[in-house]
């Protein structure tokens, strides 16, 4: 496993991080606590030391907490990040809400305390907001609460997970210097963060956590016309109607352009995301031992060349399957 600095935090994190949404057993069908613990343990065995979960991921925090408790030392040397969701629902479009409604300090503290109980830990290394609108910058008592939680030793660092496909919707608060990290969708198809956000993070020493680097499976080559998912799995909604056919066309063009087999696509997608400026780690959902071992093995491969990155830049695809 290779490691990178997480911005200016002083933490050294694995290039491949563990995205723990799937361990929650809500939106992603087919997991259970025991298999989740086994997968997470295997990832840690292979050098993964950064885990990303959230208050809103059903049982995920509890499974992560159990997995770490079962390790010698309770998972010493493993960095845990979680997210606090807003007090009221925030739509993808501009909500018109104020931060005093979405993230009052009292709500942030309550969410964190619940996360700590579920994780069975006395602190988290990184607390992130699970959504953000840049108009909220400088309002309310949010940042005062963040400072207090740091002083109390309940969190070490603070970040924001940016709204889906809105990478510029965090630039104002980033420039204030209050953020330690930004989490953002970044992959071969979704390259917009490279326009302004990634360079700004590099300038300000803010660590970048890349998410959805395999585009919910689209960049594994497994999403093609006629694909099905288990009943109740949210991907039936994400890849609804003609979307699998759209993905298949884009993926086939990408493979032809690169001259690679479909089996090579996941590692290529991970290495593309890791080539982004300021990217410290990419969090990958991996519930099976096979996927854990496949993704961790990317650390043994050479980084993409500038020529390969430039070629992949031509496959930028402006879409939003979350809408």
Mean pLDDT by 10 residues, the chain (323 residues): 98 98 93 95 98 97 98 94 97 93 98 98 98 96 97 98 97 97 98 98 98 97 95 95 97 96 97 96 96 94 94 95 92
Number of domains the chain is built from: 1
- Contact between residue 186 and residue 166 where contact means Cβ atoms under 8 Å apart: no
The number of helix segments (H) and strand segments (E) in the chain equals: 12, 10
- Say how many C-beta atoms besides its own lie within 10 A of residue 223's C-beta: 22
Amino acid 30: pLDDT: 86
Amino acid 35: pLDDT: 96
Pinpoint the alpha helices (H) of the chain: 33-45, 60-69, 99-102, 105-119, 142-151, 171-174, 197-204, 235-238, 243-258, 265-274, 289-296, 306-313
Separation CA 59–CA 56 (nearest Å): 9
Amino acid 219: pLDDT: 98
Does residue 182 belong to any structural domain of this protein? Answer: yes
Q: What is the DSSP letter of 216?
A: G
Closest alpha carbon to 39 in 9, 3, 63: 63
The CATH number for 298's domain is: 3.20.20.100
Amino acid 31: pLDDT: 83
The per-residue pLDDT for range 142-175, each reduced to its tens digit, is: 999 999 999 999 999 999 999 999 999 999 999 9
- Contact between residue 5 and residue 207 where contact means Cβ atoms under 8 Å apart: yes
- Say how many C-beta atoms besides its own lie within 10 A of residue 317's C-beta: 15
- Contact between residue 123 and residue 149 where contact means Cβ atoms under 8 Å apart: no
Does residue 90 belong to any structural domain of this protein? Answer: yes
pTM of the model: 0.97
End-to-end CA distance of the chain: 36
Domain that holds residue 194: 3-313
- Say how many C-beta atoms besides its own lie within 10 A of residue 123's C-beta: 16
The per-residue pLDDT for range 219-256, each reduced to its tens digit, is: 999 999 999 999 999 999 999 999 999 999 999 999 99
Separation CA 183–CA 208 (nearest Å): 6
**How many residues does this entry show for the chain?**
323
Closest alpha carbon to 65 in 40, 32, 31: 40
Does residue 261 belong to any structural domain of this protein? Answer: yes
Amino acid 253: pLDDT: 97
Closest alpha carbon to 140 in 186, 181, 108, 113: 108
Amino acid 173: pLDDT: 97
Amino acid 150: pLDDT: 98
Does residue 318 belong to any structural domain of this protein? Answer: no
Does residue 322 belong to any structural domain of this protein? Answer: no
Does residue 303 belong to any structural domain of this protein? Answer: yes
The encoded tokens of residue 210 equal 């890349």
Amino acid 299: pLDDT: 87
């Amino acid at each position: 496993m290779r490691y990178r600095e997480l911005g200016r935090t002083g933490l050294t994190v694995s290039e491949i991080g563990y995205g723990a949404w799937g361990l929650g057993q809500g939106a992603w069908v087919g997991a259970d606590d025991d298999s989740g613990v086994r997968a997470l343990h295997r990832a840690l065995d292979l050098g993964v030391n950064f885990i990303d979960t959230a208050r809103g991921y059903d049982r995920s925090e509890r499974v992560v907490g159990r997995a770490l408790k079962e390790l010698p030392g309770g998972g010493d040397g493993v960095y845990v990040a979680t997210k606090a969701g807003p007090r009221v629902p925030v739509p993808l479009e501009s909500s018109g809400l104020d931060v005093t409604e979405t993230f009052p300090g009292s709500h942030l503290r309550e969410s964190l305390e619940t996360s700590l109980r579920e994780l069975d830990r006395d602190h988290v290394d990184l607390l992130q907001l699970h959504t953000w609108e840049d108009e909220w910058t400088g309002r309310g008592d949010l940042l005062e609460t963040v400072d207090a939680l740091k002083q109390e030793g309940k969190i070490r660092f603070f970040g924001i997970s940016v709204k889906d496909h809105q990478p510029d919707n965090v630039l104002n608060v980033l420039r204030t210097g209050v953020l330690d990290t930004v989490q953002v969708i970044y992959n071969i198809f979704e390259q917009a963060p490279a326009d302004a956000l990634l360079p700004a993070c590099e300038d300000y020493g803010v660590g970048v956590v890349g998410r959805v680097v395999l585009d919910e499976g689209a960049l594994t080559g497994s999403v093609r016309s006629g694909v099905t998912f288990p009943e109740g799995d949210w991907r039936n909604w994400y890849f609804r109607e003609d979307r699998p056919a759209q993905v298949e066309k884009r993926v086939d063009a990408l493979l032809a352009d690169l001259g690679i087999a479909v089996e090579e696509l996941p590692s290529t997608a991970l290495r593309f995301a890791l080539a982004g400026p300021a990217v410290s780690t990419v969090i990958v959902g991996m519930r099976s031992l096979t996927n854990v071992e496949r993704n961790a093995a990317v650390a043994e491969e050479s980084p993409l060349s500038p020529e390969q990155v430039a070629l992949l830049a031509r496959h930028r695809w402006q879409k939003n399957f979350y809408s």
